[in-house]
Chain A
Amino acid sequence: MIKFQSVTKIYPAHAGALMIVALEDVSFELSSKEFVSIVGRSGAGKTTLLKLLLAEEKPTRGQIFFDGLDVPQLKPERLPQLRRKIGAVFQDYRLLPTKTAYENIAYIMEVIGSSDEEIARDVPEVLEIVGLENRANNFLAELSGGERQRVAIARSLIHRPEVILADEPTGNLDPYHTLDIIRLLLKIQEMGTTVILATHNKDIINRLGKRVITLEKGRVIRDEERGRFIL
Chain B
Amino acid sequence: MSDASATQNGPVLAADGTPLKRSLARALRRQKMRALMLIAPLLLFILVSFILPIGDMLYRSVDNKIVQNILPRTVVALADWDSTSGELPSEAVYTALAADMKEAAAAKEHTKVGVRLNYEKPGVASAFRKAGRRAKKFDLEAGGPWKEAFLKIDKKWGDTEVWRTIQTYSPPVTAGYFLNAVDMRVGVDGAEMRPERERIYMALLKRTLWMSLLITGSCILLAYPVAWLLANLPMRSANMLMILVLLPFWTSLLVRTSAWKILLQQQGVINDLLVWVGLVPDDARLQIINNQFGTIVAMTHILLPFMILPMYSVMQTINPSYLRAAKSLGATNWTAFWRVYFPQTVPGIGAGSILVFILAIGYYITPALVGGTKGTFISNQIAFHISTSLNWGLAAALGAILLVVVLVLYWAYDKIVGIDNVKLG
| A and B form one complex | no
Q: Which residues of A contact B (CB under 8 A)?
A: none
Q: Which residues of B contact A (CB under 8 A)?
A: none
